[in-house]
Each structure stands twice: as structure tokens, then as C-alpha cells.
């Protein structure tokens, strides 16, 4: 699934397999975006923009109202949500229950943190953290209360995504004037470059079997969804449209909204 402005506003579309035409899954008079999957409840969650208010919704059920400062929410296997809170012009990672209440900070410092991502076990959160002029990936163990730095490049990195077995993180990283997709082994901290192509590659998402990564790729206002075979490095174009397609996520078929 992914978001697209091909219909004039932001809507949510789905593609069952490469070669299929995108199908409108969530649309309406208000723009929709930021698609997420809640594994605890096997449901699709997205943002809806209504009258200058941002709502986090699942189907017709509004989970969080007026989430203007709440960005990049991610749901854990137990149903908690972690997100970056953009108040005061920065980014602070916060964990809350599924309604957005009962919040607590993850890291008690003044650095800017973005792009939180739950581990498959729900015991750790990966994220990008700004230190000085650059960004690096960090990992916070919620049980031990320990933060671990994973990269030391101090360039832009973002959108960490856990492999289903929890052994690797895919992420995007600035290389010269563009971004590419990388993966890091969490045992050895060895980093592997997965894409090398013109334009910007952003926001990787793992397939449920760990064999593929979907990501957004493009230049200017034209973005499409691509699929990468992690083992062979083969690339398949999923969408081809002059609009902006982005933010892909793999979702089980039984979690899709009824049509």
C-alpha cells in the first residue's frame, strides 16, 4: 500500500503484485496519507487532514484527534504507538497507548529524533538522531533503558525499517546530492549499499518474508514505488504515474479495508 496524489488529493492505494494496476482503497473529500499497519489489531491506520486538523484513523474510527505535531507514528506488536512530537520545532520520541494518551519520552536529552521504528519483538526502537550537523541511526532498548549508536557518518540518514527477523535495518542515506537505500547488520554494524541509481530513494519497507524492500523513488514532484529483491538486487517498478506515489508499506490482505 502507498499514498498518492494522483486523484488530486492524498489517497491510499494498493497493489497486490507487480504488474497490477493500483486500486483506490481509502479516499474521500479530505486528503489522506501516512499509511501504517497495526500488527496487534491487524488493521490499517492512516492520517486524515480535515479543517486544519490532523486525525489518525482506522477505518471510520478516529484514534487520535488534532495530531498536528504528531508525525511518523508506528505501532508495536503489543499495540503501543511511538511517534515523533514536533512541538518547539524539534523532534522528541514519545511512546503512548493506542489512543495517544499515557505518553512518556524515550530519550531524555535535547537532541532531535525522528523516524521511529519498532523492532519485531517490541523491545527496541530504532530512529534517526541529529548530532551536530548530521544524523545517525540509534537504537533504544526499552527493557534495559540503554541507547546504542549504530552509525557514525554524521550525514542525513532516515526511515529505519526492521527486517522481519530483527537482524537488520534498512534505511535511506544521503550520498552526494541524492539518497540511496542501505542496510545495516545489527550484530556487526556492517553497512551494505542496496541501491545506486539517479534521483532520490526513500522510506524502505520490508516484505513480510524479508525477501523484498519497497521504497519511493523519484526526482522533483514525480515519485513512484519500486521493489528491490534483497538477495539479487533486482529492481521492479511498481507504479508509473506523473503524480507523487510514496510511503509504501506491506499489509496482509485480510487487513485491507473492505471495498
Percentage of residues in the chain having pLDDT higher than 90: 46
- Over residues 107-149, the pLDDT tens digits come to 878 788 999 999 999 999 999 999 888 899 999 999 999 999 9
* Mean pLDDT value across the chain: 86
Three-state secondary structure of the chain: CEEECCCCCCEEEECCCCCCCCEEEECCCCCEEEEEEECCCCEEEEEEEECCEEEEEECCEEEECCCCCEEEEEECCCCCEEEEECHHHCCEEEEECCCCCCCEECCCCCCEEEEEEECCCCCEEEEEEEECCEEEEEEEECCCCEEEECCCCCECEEEEEECCCCCEEEEEEEECCEEEEEEEECCCCCEEECCCCCCEEEEEEECCCCCEEEEEEEECCEEEEEEEECCCCCEEECCCCCCEEECCCCCCHHHCCCC
Question: What is the structure's pLDDT at 47?
Answer: 74
Query: In the chain, what are the domain boundaries?
Result: 2-255
- Give the rounded percent of residues in the chain with a pLDDT score beyond 70: 88
Report the CATH number of the 2-255 domain. 2.120.10.30
Residue 188 has a pLDDT of: 98
In this predicted structure, the answer to whether residue 227 has a pLDDT above a threshold of 60 is yes
Instruction: State residue 85 phi and psi, 5-degree precision.
Output: -100, 120
Q: Between vectors from CA 180 to CA 4 and to CA 117, what angle results, nearest 5°?
A: 70
Query: pLDDT tens digits for 236-255?
Result: 999 999 989 999 999 888 77
What is the structure's pLDDT at 250? 93
Q: Residues 179-190: pLDDT tens digits?
A: 999 999 999 999
Query: In this predicted structure, what is the pLDDT of residue 80?
Result: 83
Q: Tell how far CA 256 is from the center of its chain.
A: 18
Q: Quick one: which of 159, 136, 147, 152 has its CA closest to 105?
A: 147
Confidence of residue 166 (pLDDT cuts 50, 70, 90): very high
Q: What's the confidence (pLDDT) of residue 94?
A: 83
pLDDT recorded at residue 176: 92
**From CA 106, how far away is CA 116, in angstroms rounded?**
10
Amino acid at each position: 500500500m502507498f499514498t498518492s496524489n494522483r486523484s488530486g488529493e492524498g489517497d491510499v492505494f494498493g497493489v497486490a503484485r507487480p504488474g497490477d494496476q493500483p486500486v483506490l482503497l481509502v479516499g474521500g473529500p479530505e486528503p489522506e496519507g501516512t499509511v501504517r499497519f497495526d500488527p496487534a489489531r491487524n488493521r490499517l491506520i492512516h492520517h486524515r487532514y480535515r479543517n486544519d486538523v490532523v486525525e489518525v484513523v482506522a477505518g471510520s474510527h478516529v484514534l487520535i484527534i488534532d495530531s498536528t505535531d504528531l508525525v511518523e507514528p508506528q505501532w508495536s506488536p503489543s499495540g503501543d504507538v511511538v511517534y515523533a512530537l514536533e512541538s518547539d520545532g524539534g523532534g522528541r520520541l514519545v511512546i503512548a497507548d493506542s489512543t495517544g494518551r499515557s505518553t512518556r519520552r524515550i530519550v531524555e536529552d535535547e537532541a532531535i529524533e525522528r523516524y521511529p521504528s519498532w523492532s519485531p519483538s517490541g523491545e527496541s526502537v530504532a530512529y534517526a538522531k541529529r548530532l551536530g550537523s548530521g544524523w545517525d541511526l540509534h537504537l533504544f532498548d526499552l527493557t534495559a533503558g540503554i541507547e546504542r549508536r549504530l552509525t557514525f557518518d554524521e550525514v542525513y540518514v532516515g526511515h529505519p525499517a526492521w527486517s522481519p527477523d530483527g537482524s537488520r535495518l534498512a534505511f535511506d542515506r544521503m550520498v552526494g546530492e541524492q539518497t540511496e537505500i542501505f542496510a545495516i547488520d545489527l550484530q556487526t554494524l556492517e553497512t551494505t549499499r542496496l541501491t545506486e541509481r539517479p534521483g532520490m530513494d526513500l522510506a524502505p519497507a520490508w516484505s513480510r518474508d524479508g525477501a523484498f524492500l519497497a521504497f519511493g523513488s523519484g526526482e522533483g514532484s514525480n515519485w513512484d514505488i519500486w521493489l528491490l529483491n534483497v538477495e539479487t538486487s533486482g529492481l521492479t517498478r511498481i507504479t508509473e504515474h506523473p503524480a507523487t506515489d510514496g510511503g509504501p508499506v506491506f499489509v496482509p490482505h485480510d487487513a485491507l479495508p473492505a471495498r
